[in-house]
Structure 1
């Protein structure tokens, strides 16, 4: 007789480290000088001057042994490469869209799609547009409208699916301005709102409204696997299902998708636009040829197509997803214990700190998120990303208003850092909490017209 033992508490990395990359150690004095040179914009730092890089999870993960092996199979034919068909079939296996159009990354898919569907007077609703999605909508003259549920704008709410679309608000928009809406978008998981998932029930509700009003439904699906795992863990009747089947259910509710393969598919580059409508697909391919490349490579090398295809199969493995979500929660729950306010429940790809709550002395138009991000780097060499008034406060007319929330995202690169790295981040945050009241606000001294957070220059506001 085999005795059944309780499960162990520790969820460890379901992989071994095969290759290592050195980290250059720096001092606070070093980092203070680097910040001044970078005009206090963390995007402008050299990565070699960063100890723990949590700026983004986009393209920053460690590829697997099998992905590196797949790279060796890459065929670099200009047209009709077998690597494209490996890639296409891997995408179709999970998402089952007829037309799979490769692009170099997600924003290229957005640019192509909205150049066809957007335009002045148009309105594109989303639960919450992320930065490049919003920018590509607005670049066509269309308006990007966010319709996340009220709980999604409340950092302390414990709603299990804070990424859900507000169905009543969507119905009102489609009723009032249906002729101006070319499509409806849902971002899974909701990056701007704390990496929060969308439920299957909510997606079905969005689908029903789109059917009733004759609208296309698209997914911004770059973190589809994490969203599916949250559905499995949190939504009634889903707990015994395979993540692959949940992913197929999600895709089956949509007419198409944009994808950055630099997230859940674990590529260092790549993406795609997938859809069923043949006429729309042809218009998008015409734009692809103008801006990205031939339809069977779309701005990617054959080796990249092969690596993404392999990464898709690894992204939906249960052992990996369990580790991924638990390790992110480990960091988030530890920050909560030391008094750092974070978005709850903890998201999948990142921990989001509520900078406005931590720094109530800094006016939102003096960028508390930027203040916190700068301080994290100067104190401990931890690079993070402001997601707040810097990223979303500027209006298309050039004015500025406070964003709905001022957050700092600690994005977790996939399969890159160990628990001791996170323990160090926790220690840095603990010291920062003690001195948060001393942090200055910031002002922008120079900024571009679009996506200003990437290249804007800042200076601290002297008290």
Structure 2
């Protein structure tokens, strides 16, 4: 059995990568010296492109040490202190941060202007109607606010004006998930209790592709939840069911694939039709973040929508990267429709959506729960005997977050989000955003580094199984993805393991019980919107190319004790390098 290095041994081990990197770079520079300078310059110029924005703000970095090697040593020490945990590593020691594209965007000047225009009134601030108008404009008229009387359906306005609210601002996507799943659990029990054969019932929450880890955590958090119907108490538990794309799961994808975000619809359909499992609702994640930030097709969304309508199942969208997904549909299908039109088509097929506005809202905070008053499947949970889903959502927001007309956000944040949502569907923005990510993926591929292809929209995913192709898949339990993360942190590059460690645990607190079962073993490099230049990305690519060519140096890691059994262990795990 492997033993772990001491702290000092780990620092010296990490520092050896810096020394070898310098030798490796010198050898590569000698090889490049043989190529005429004008050809090198021409290659660099031909591969360049104008950005669709200009920078107005510069934030200076503060070197971690007195020189480059000392900075590497200082960071290496911090890596060991943090147990190779990306979330624990201090951001001010970084050169570039690919941990997440959530809340890390550089906002536009129009958004910054709205920060000055914000109205900080406690209730019904200026941003509240603007937010509702923006939701209807961006996602389609079926989400127009009946609470404010703005629906095209006059009967719905008359029934719900100032009575029932269907759109909720919250602090971020996780807040939306937490509030929604609790309300859904109670509503399902109120609807179905007469059919229960015991006082404990289990429902499956099905994702037609892949849940993200925090979504999984909120679902698993519904465990033996007590729901009182009349004078009878029931216990409800949710379980996860993912239907990942088999090509991503098995590593058999190719550059010719189009919609790797589509899940296994036939397997989902079989589960629904057989009726052996109670299903609470069905989700689809766009883009499919845990499956490589891959686009989901309109055909898949329509199939799932039709299935849910036929079997009276609520269909919810995890909409964090909705605009990027619509953009990919436009490009793949060579569609003449605008991105905005495709967004409307997507959301006409669902009953509601949860969204982190820190992604395709280009905001630094914020989220939303939006349910359609035109959906029969949502309406069955409104004004149920003993409770109402909408009332529960409103009460929870008020008690835990803030008044439902601001949802924990400042008035200035709400206005900035509204501008961001309108900006994010513009074709010129999306062209610049997605093409930068694709350029990063291409240079990595050209340097021989194995990444998930075709590239998605918000991140580049290192394929850990292919990176270490000479190692048996059963060695996933050595968590080489976390080895890559820890070594790269010492170089000032922060990434996120989303693979055999993040998604597996034998303790029932993760989507998969073993590392071998996990669908896709990746390290994600999420690209913040409008923040980095290509030079930042290409310098990172050079480092990763070095690691790939020198992977024999890379040692496995060992869990620090008593962490993997914790809830949301992905965020809490700490490791040591093995000897």
TM-score strictly above 0.5: yes
How far apart are 1:173 and its partner, in Å?
Answer: 1.3
Alpha-carbon distance between aligned partners in 2 of 1:398 and 1:224, rounded to the nearest angstrom? 28
Is it true that 1:137 corresponds to 2:219 in the alignment? Answer: yes
How far apart are 1:347 and its partner, in Å?
Answer: 0.7
Counterpart of 2:21? none
How far apart are 1:42 and its partner, in Å?
Answer: 1.4
Q: Is the 8 A contact 1:60 1:413 kept in 2?
A: yes
Counterpart of 2:552? 437
How far apart are 1:396 and its partner, in Å?
Answer: 5.1
Counterpart of 2:401? 292
Alpha-carbon distance between aligned partners in 1 of 2:248 and 2:434, rounded to the nearest angstrom? 19
Counterpart of 2:264? 166
Give runs of aligned pairs for residues 358-437 of structure 1, distance below 5 A. Answer: 358-360=467-469, 361=471, 363-378=475-490, 380-395=491-506, 397=508, 400-402=513-515, 403-437=518-552
How much is the aligned-residue C-alpha RMSD, in angstroms?
1.8
User: Aligned with 2:202: secondary structure?
Assistant: coil
Alpha-carbon distance between aligned partners in 2 of 1:175 and 1:198, rounded to the nearest angstrom? 23
Give runs of aligned pairs for residues 264-283 of structure 1, distance below 5 A. Answer: 264-276=360-372, 277=378, 279=382, 280-283=389-392
Q: 1:23 aligns with which of 61, 70, 79?
A: 61
User: Aligned with 2:360: secondary structure?
Assistant: coil
Task: Show CA shifts across 1:183-209 (max 9, x none).
Answer: 110000000010001011111111110
Q: Is the 8 A contact 1:35 1:41 kept in 2?
A: yes
How far apart are 1:398 and its partner, in Å?
Answer: 5.8
Alpha-carbon distance between aligned partners in 2 of 1:178 and 1:107, rounded to the nearest angstrom? 30
Q: 2:184 aligns with which of 98, 101, 117?
A: 117
Q: 1:453 aligns with which of 570, 574, 577?
A: 570
Q: 2:172 aligns with which of 86, 105, 110?
A: 105
Alpha-carbon distance between aligned partners in 2 of 1:437 and 1:145, rounded to the nearest angstrom? 37
How far apart are 1:221 and its partner, in Å?
Answer: 0.4
Given the superposition, is the C-alpha separation of residues 460 and 118 from structure 1 closer, same or farther in structure 2, using an over 3 Å criterion? farther
Counterpart of 1:193? 291
Alpha-carbon distance between aligned partners in 2 of 1:89 and 1:433, rounded to the nearest angstrom? 49
* Matched positions, count: 452
User: Aligned with 1:341: secondary structure?
Assistant: coil
Alpha-carbon distance between aligned partners in 1 of 2:448 and 2:185, rounded to the nearest angstrom? 44
User: Aligned with 1:386: secondary structure?
Assistant: strand
Larger displacement relative to structure 2 (23-32 or 103-112): 23-32
Alpha-carbon distance between aligned partners in 2 of 1:307 and 1:453, rounded to the nearest angstrom? 31
Question: Which runs of 5 or more residues in structure 1 are unaligned?
Answer: 1-7
Is it true that 1:49 corresponds to 2:164 in the alignment? Answer: no
How far apart are 1:405 and its partner, in Å?
Answer: 2.2
Task: Show CA shifts across 1:423-449 (max 9, x none).
Answer: 111111121112112111112214262
Alpha-carbon distance between aligned partners in 2 of 1:12 and 1:154, rounded to the nearest angstrom? 38
How far apart are 1:178 and its partner, in Å?
Answer: 6.7
Counterpart of 2:120? 76
Given the superposition, is the C-alpha separation of residues 427 and 303 from structure 1 closer, same or farther in structure 2, using an over 3 Å criterion? same
Counterpart of 1:219? 317
Counterpart of 1:181? 279
Alpha-carbon distance between aligned partners in 2 of 1:44 and 1:316, rounded to the nearest angstrom? 34
Given the superposition, is the C-alpha separation of residues 299 and 240 from structure 1 closer, same or farther in structure 2, using an over 3 Å criterion? same
How far apart are 1:456 and its partner, in Å?
Answer: 2.0
Alpha-carbon distance between aligned partners in 2 of 1:179 and 1:150, rounded to the nearest angstrom? 22
Alpha-carbon distance between aligned partners in 1 of 2:55 and 2:113, rounded to the nearest angstrom? 16
Task: Show CA shifts across 1:104-145 (max 9, x none).
Answer: 000111111111223851101111000110000111031111
Task: Show CA shifts across 1:76-104 (max 9, x none).
Answer: 11111111111121112111314210000
How far apart are 1:176 and its partner, in Å?
Answer: 2.8
Q: Is the 8 A contact 2:101 2:526 kept in 1?
A: yes
Task: Flag as ranges the 4+ runs of structure 1 deviating above 4 A.
Answer: none
Alpha-carbon distance between aligned partners in 2 of 1:287 and 1:201, rounded to the nearest angstrom? 36
Alpha-carbon distance between aligned partners in 2 of 1:73 and 1:219, rounded to the nearest angstrom? 31
Alpha-carbon distance between aligned partners in 1 of 2:203 and 2:507, rounded to the nearest angstrom? 14
Alpha-carbon distance between aligned partners in 1 of 2:315 and 2:408, rounded to the nearest angstrom? 26
Larger displacement relative to structure 2 (193-202 or 33-42): 33-42
Q: 1:260 aligns with which of 343, 353, 356?
A: 356
How far apart are 1:151 and its partner, in Å?
Answer: 2.3
Alpha-carbon distance between aligned partners in 2 of 1:180 and 1:75, rounded to the nearest angstrom? 45
Task: Show CA shifts across 1:277-328 (max 9, x none).
Answer: 3523333222222222211011111111111001011111111101111110
Give runs of aligned pairs for residues 57-76 of structure 1, distance below 5 A. Answer: 57-76=101-120
Larger displacement relative to structure 2 (390-399 or 349-358): 390-399
How far apart are 1:455 and its partner, in Å?
Answer: 2.1
Given the superposition, is the C-alpha separation of residues 411 and 265 from structure 1 closer, same or farther in structure 2, using an over 3 Å criterion? same
User: Aligned with 1:122: secondary structure?
Assistant: strand
Q: Is the 8 A contact 2:84 2:485 kept in 1?
A: no
Q: 1:341 aligns with which of 425, 450, 456?
A: 450
Alpha-carbon distance between aligned partners in 2 of 1:413 and 1:199, rounded to the nearest angstrom? 24
